[in-house]
Structure 1
Amino acid sequence: MMTRIHRTLNGVVTDPLKHSQALGGTMAILGLNRSMPLLHGSQGCSAFAKALLTRHFREPIPLQTTALVQSTVIMGGEESLEVALETIATTLHPDIIGVLSTGLTEMSGDDSAAIVRRFSESRCGDDGPLVVFAPTPDFKEGLERGWASAVEAVVDTVSEVGSAKPSQVNLLVGPHLAALDVEELMGIVSAFGLDPIVLPNLSGSMDGHLADDWSGLTTGGTTVAEIREIGNSGATLAVGSSVFAAGSQLKSRLGIPALNYPRLTGLGAVDAFLAGLSEISGRAVPGELMRWRRRLADAMLDTHFVLGGVRVALALEPDLLLAVSSLLDEMGAYVVVAVSPSTSSALEMMPCDEVIVGDLGEFETRASEAGAELIVASSHARPIAQRLRAAHLCIGFPVYDRFGQQYQLTAGYRGTLDLLFRVANCLSDYGDRHSSSGRKG
């Protein structure tokens, strides 16, 4: 069955779901150790992104801007970018600077890539930072594409610098994975005797740890040394459609085999991941992981009475939308509405007839018409769930009315089990409305 992707043609967005590429790119750079994201645009571009990220992660967010004004846009913002790079490099001494464009500088025509290249060349041979540039225009696509663009920019700096290390693997992860999801996957890979290099690694930087001292940079994440080792890995594991292109870059340039996994939520999806790791390592699946598999199987039996037949409406970024909806479909729930803020190859694998590329206004209308009993979306959808008198599983980005979101797993056997229990408990809180006699269709 081919999923039909329908793009809303409304002339106005009534309740936005989409977040900008620049915000997604910033999130990816935050997954690098001692890094500083730099938005090349107006002050407002960075202020809005910083506010959202601070509310979601509940952490100080290192983020700088070139703070363009009307005159600098008209005359060209190249000098502002050069000054910003020099200032950050000499005052904060970061290991990595991630330069991200905005709609303003993309439309004005600034050649940001050339400026970054000249800056890097001028510091060749000293201990200056690694500087990467990712085009992240606000006016097309969204958060996932911005994340992907930043990851691809980092991967583009990778070269083969030594002998191959068959037991070392690259683990490229998408923005749909929380900090502890990344840590969980690192543990799974390590259980096979493999050494993972994670890109980007939010589990080291945005996991909510209390640092020993204040720093204006990220305190954890993928290091420059690890980035330089990526080219020596024996394989690349790409988790999420948003990072498939980065894996393909490594395969085409350096010949590193790439294994793509659209999702790691669900029994079959995790089975396939472990089979790939077993083939790479030559080892059987460890007993501890098989124990978690049996726990998940038991949890599926326990929760299918609650989840079966529930009418679910989801509004999430594409990779997370695929992961959660596929699991709920496997558990017997009905995906009656699926809305994504942007297009993606992940949408073609959705377990429903149609996916809407639209906003939360369209989502509410369709969820109401479909009689949705469970709303799966970010904190922005809480008023919608209240108006529809439906249960609300708060997940995705941003989550600002719940604590511990970075510790909520969705990946691996353990993450799938955790997600199942969260959904079942969420529905149990609305037991009367979700009894078999009260369900529609």
Structure 2
Amino acid sequence: MNKPLQINPIKLSQPMGALLCFLGVKNCMPLMHGAQGCASFSKVFFTRHFSDPIAVQTTAVNDITAVIDGGDYSISEAVENITKKVKPDLVGLFTTGMTETKGDDIKGATFLLKETQLMSYVHTPDFEGGLESGFAKSIEAIIEQLVEPKNEIDMQKALLIPNVNLTPIEVEKIKDEISSFGLETFALPDLSESLDGHLGVKQGALSSGGISVEEIKNLGDSALVITVGDSVNKAGEKFIEKNPKSTHLHFNTLSGLLHVDKFYKALMDFKHISKPKPSVVRWRKRLQDALLDTHFALGGTDVVLALEADQVLSIATTIKEAGANIKAIVIPTKTTALDELGCENIIVGDFEDVEKELQEADLLISNFHGERIAHKHKKALLLRGYPNYETVGNQLVNDTLYEGSCYMLFEVANTINSL
């Protein structure tokens, strides 16, 4: 990035990533330590994206309490108010830019409440990082603070650590594939059971599903931990510190033919299996055919991507295999995750940069805020990432594994052909 500021940002804040992470823990109450408006914005943002109610509370720090309060009082008061109405299994405490600048001791505040409420805390200032890092930091905090160290492993148990860009249905699909190898599979966090769009009994004040606190505590004996996305690689390493006997398999993406091949090969090697199940072989052949069918539309198409880095890698990997040309990539935060793509035009920037690059391109893949730019320049548009206010069913969009890669290729080809 060569500008001193972002004019029309793509970036989302770290606290928003932390909120999503804690929503993947069953009966959890995410507690944002900051001003009331910060939590209100995040709640509305994700409610519109998922078309579902979002559980979040705030310590509601204002200009007066920010000056005279050390953070302890507003946190303890918020927890007291929460527990008068509901009994969360976990309160996920995360910070904002204001409380981080002020220097509140959230670890100490959590310690003072340990006898009355189980809590997990994480520092997520919104003046650094972004959605991916806030999500990943929260996973690391949960592992460090809640997972009990173990010296033995259960060879029938596996843990999946997804990155923030994987939709609830994608998490479910990956869990199912790991389970098909005879492994009881848990996801941390597990949005496939909380934000998957299921019809609950009523609107809850706590997260409506996900991995339970008891399950988190007992994850330490997992024989296998699988991390998907560069942003959560460190979380897998943190888990290995809890049990060095566990095996850590890391994949930057599970999209596209070659990367999904590596995923199944690694699982087969781990379980000492020589052949995958017939459905896997069948979907691989379908993806091969999809690559041939969509090559006529995608071959030579100039594409601009403006998304979080891990999602850019997944989508770009898939469409490049069908012959698309990645003209430019605009990401909100700096990363080395995209080095393997071989794209020379990677910009840490904003939608102003996107608009400049799009003028000579055919297709924009971005979130809802890219729609105006695409329409202005009469370019094809594929909506992905956060937020997507244009369509419903975002939680069930699947771009991963052989099956999802097929769907992605067909959707991109149809989008180009319809322009």
Both structures adopt the same fold (TM-score exceeding 0.5): yes
**TM class, shorter-length:** over 0.9
How do residues 376-395 of structure 1 correspond to structure 2 at under 5 angstroms?
A: 376-395=365-384
Q: What's 1:87 paired with?
A: 81
CA shift for structure 1 position 257: 1.9
The answer (yes or no) to whether the contact 1:192–1:286 under 8 Å persists in 2 is: no
Aligned partners of 1:39, 1:292: CA distance in 2, in Å? 42
Q: Which residue of 2 aligns with 1:39?
A: 32
CA pair 345-171 structure 1, distance change in 2 beyond 3 A: same
Consecutive unaligned residues of structure 2, counting only runs of 5 or more, are none
* 1:123-169 Cα shifts (integer Å, max 9, x gaps): 3xxxx4x3110111010110000000111111112113585211101
8 Å CA contact retained: 1:167, 1:281: no
Q: Deviations over 1:384-432 (max 9, x none)?
A: 10011100000011111011111110111111111111111111111xx
* Aligned-residue offset at 1:38: 0.5
Q: Is the 8 A contact 1:325 1:351 kept in 2?
A: no
User: Per-residue CA shift, 1:230-280, capped at 9, x if unaligned?
Assistant: 101001100111111110011133212211100000011111111111122
Distance in 2 of aligned mates of 1:425 and 1:309 = 15
1:339 match: secondary structure: strand
Indicate if the aligned counterparts of 2:150 and 2:243 stay in contact, CA closer than 8 A: no
Question: Which residue matches 1:150?
Answer: 138
Does the Cα contact within 8 Å between 2:292 and 2:322 map onto a contact in 1?
Answer: no
Distance 1:349 1:82 in 2: 47
Match of 1:275 among 241, 260, 265: 265
For the pair 1:290 / 2:284, whether they are aligned, the reply is no
Q: How much is the aligned-residue C-alpha RMSD, in angstroms?
A: 1.3
Q: Could you list the per-position Cα deviations for residues 49-71 of structure 1 after superposition, in whole angstroms to 9, with x for gaps in the alignment?
A: 11111111111000000001111
Q: What is the alpha-carbon distance in structure 1 between the residues aligned to residue 178 and residue 401 of structure 2? A: 11
TM-score scaled by length of structure 2: 0.96
Which of residues 217, 228, 239 is equivalent to 1:250?
239
Normalising by structure 1, what TM-score? Answer: 0.92
| Alignment gaps of 5+ in structure 1 | 1-7, 431-441
Q: Deviations over 1:77-104 (max 9, x none)?
A: 3210111122223421011211010000
Aligned partner of 2:291 in structure 1 is 300
**Cα distance in 2, alignment partners of residues 422 and 97 from structure 1:** 40
Q: Which residue does the alignment assign to 1:131?
A: 119
Q: Is the 8 A contact 1:317 1:341 kept in 2?
A: yes
**Displacement of 1:287:** 1.1
In 2, the alpha carbon distance for the partners of 1:374 and 1:207 equals 29
Give the SS at the match of 2:338.
helix
Kindly indicate whether residue 320 of structure 2 is the aligned counterpart of residue 329 of structure 1. Answer: yes
1:343 aligns with 2:334: yes
Deviation at 1:212, TM superposition (A): 1.9
Whether the 8 Å CA contact 1:29–1:35 is kept in 2: the answer is yes
Count of residue pairs the alignment pairs up: 415
In structure 2, the residue corresponding to 1:133 is in which secondary structure? Answer: strand
**What secondary structure does 2:254 align onto?**
coil
The counterpart of 1:112, out of the listed 99, 106, 117, is: 106
* Counterpart AA for 1:264: L
